[in-house]
Amino acid sequence: MKKISKIEHVLDEIQTPCYVCEEAMLEENLKLLHYVGEQSGANVLLALKGFAFKALAPLVSKYLKGCTSSGLHEALFAKEYFDGEIHTYSPAFKDEEIDAVIALSHHLVFNSFAQLQKYKVKALGKCSIGLRINPEVSSSPVDIYNPCGLYSRLGITKENFQPQLLDGVEGLHFHALCEQDADALEAVLKGFEAKFGAYISQMKWINFGGGHHITREGYDVEKLIKLIRDFRAKYRVKVYIEPGEAVGWQSGSLVASVLDVLHNGMDIALLDTSAEAHMPDTLAMPYKAQIRGAGEAGEKTYTYRLGGNTCLAGDIMGDYSFDAPLHVGDKLIFEDQIHYTIVKNTTFNGIKLPNLAVLRKNGKFEVVSNFGYEEYRRRN
Ligand SMILES: Cc1ncc(COP(=O)(O)O)c(C=O)c1O
């Protein structure tokens, strides 16, 4: 997939910090996901937890079948901004929200038989009811993103499965992957069929969850298509997949400015952004974000430790090197900062939330959300 970022053409216009989603790059992802849907017969949904960017909802709705939400607020957001189906799964629903969730949702997925029994009567005839199961197979690279790890609360294991309570249940859902290839899905499907195969044919649909890294260079798209087609042919069920990351993958960046340059044993640049508040997965996963034009420490002539503008000592993006010294006012482009950033960021330390902007296909740069003190005041 050829993606060409054009952000450098509008860099002068950008007030930092700012997340900039590039419409053309996002559309490349959406076209590929649409192709997967067409070729495999799967219904491809956007997982809002990874990418909820309302200004781009019309574009997403052009290519995908709807949204999957993690509870009332995401379901409301899906209804307000997107077209298509709304699927809602939550580890546990609440009495005061369930009626609204049912009214909004086409599919409602429970995480336990207790929740199913509690809310089934309300949901019957209004939503297609499903259960999240835990296939207990996952090769997720890190524990924090492994839904099938030891003592996981996410999904029903085979040991806790109660077939006598399946009346009214039309679907099964699993989510076991994180940034993984079709081979990993194949292994999960084997485990799923081995444990729950007896119940698949009595279902109307099976949801294969998210974590499919479909839009990453080198992902075996044809293998995914074959896996889904074979599964559909074998069991005669509808198949859903609900990627989040694959929708927003490499669709834009976070642009920040250098505020100060210090020296304490090494050169340090302070930026008007924060790893902790604006790029939380760089600390949680953890991973090191790429910066356009920068190398690893020592690779180019000028090495700096880059730090955020908060008082958290560990608010550090990492050590990077550059061809030229950094100066106050220089802009840095952190690559691939659209998925799981905007949806997770905070106003920690009162730091300004980065604005949201779209670089349109026609080259127009548009700030679509402008954040200031209000955000901090409302949340504290
Ligand atoms: C139930 C469920 N579905 C879908 C997703 C989306 O996963 P990803 O963004 O990795 O594709 C997640 C992510 O945590 C999830 O928990």
Summarised one tens digit per residue, pLDDT across range 56-106 is: 999 999 999 999 999 999 999 999 999 999 999 999 999 999 999 999 999
pLDDT of 368: 98
CA neighbor of 169 nearest in space, from 108, 104, 249, 85: 108
C-alpha 61/C-alpha 82 separation (Å) is 6
Q: Where are the domains of the chain?
A: 7-18+252-337+345-379, 41-248
pLDDT of 139: 78
What's domain 41-248's superfamily in CATH? Alanine racemase (3.20.20.10)
Any ligand 1 atom below 6 A from CB of 354: no
User: Whose C-alpha lies nearest to ligand 1, atom 4?
Assistant: 210
pLDDT of 295: 98
Q: How high is the mean pLDDT of the chain?
A: 97
* Beta-sheet strands, E only, within 284-372: 295-296, 302-307, 316-322, 331-335, 355-359, 365-369
Distance 123 CA to ligand 1 centre (A): 24
Best of 172, 175, 178, 240 for a ligand 1 pocket test (most atoms within 8 Å of beta carbon):
175
Best of 49, 51, 146 for a ligand 1 pocket test (most atoms within 8 Å of beta carbon):
49
- Angle formed by the axes of helices 182-200 and 221-235, nearest 10°: 10
pLDDT of 54: 98
CATH architecture of 7-18+252-337+345-379: Beta Barrel (2.40)
Q: Which two tokens stand for residue 170?
A: 């039309």
Q: Which residues of the chain have pLDDT under 50?
A: none
Do 41-248 and 7-18+252-337+345-379 have the same topology in CATH? no
Q: Measure CA 371 to chain center.
A: 22
Any ligand 1 atom below 6 A from CB of 155: no
User: Whose C-alpha lies nearest to ligand 1, atom 7?
Assistant: 210
Q: Which residues contact 376 (CB under 8 A, 6 or more apart)?
A: 347, 350
Distance 306 CA to ligand 1 centre (A): 30
pLDDT of 184: 96
pLDDT of 262: 98
pLDDT of 274: 98
pLDDT of 127: 98
Any ligand 1 atom below 6 A from CB of 47: yes
What is the DSSP code (8-state) at residue 133?
Answer: B
Any ligand 1 atom below 6 A from CB of 74: no
* Cα atoms found within 13 Å of the Cα of residue 289, Cβ hemisphere only: 33
User: Whose C-alpha lies nearest to ligand 1, atom 13?
Assistant: 210
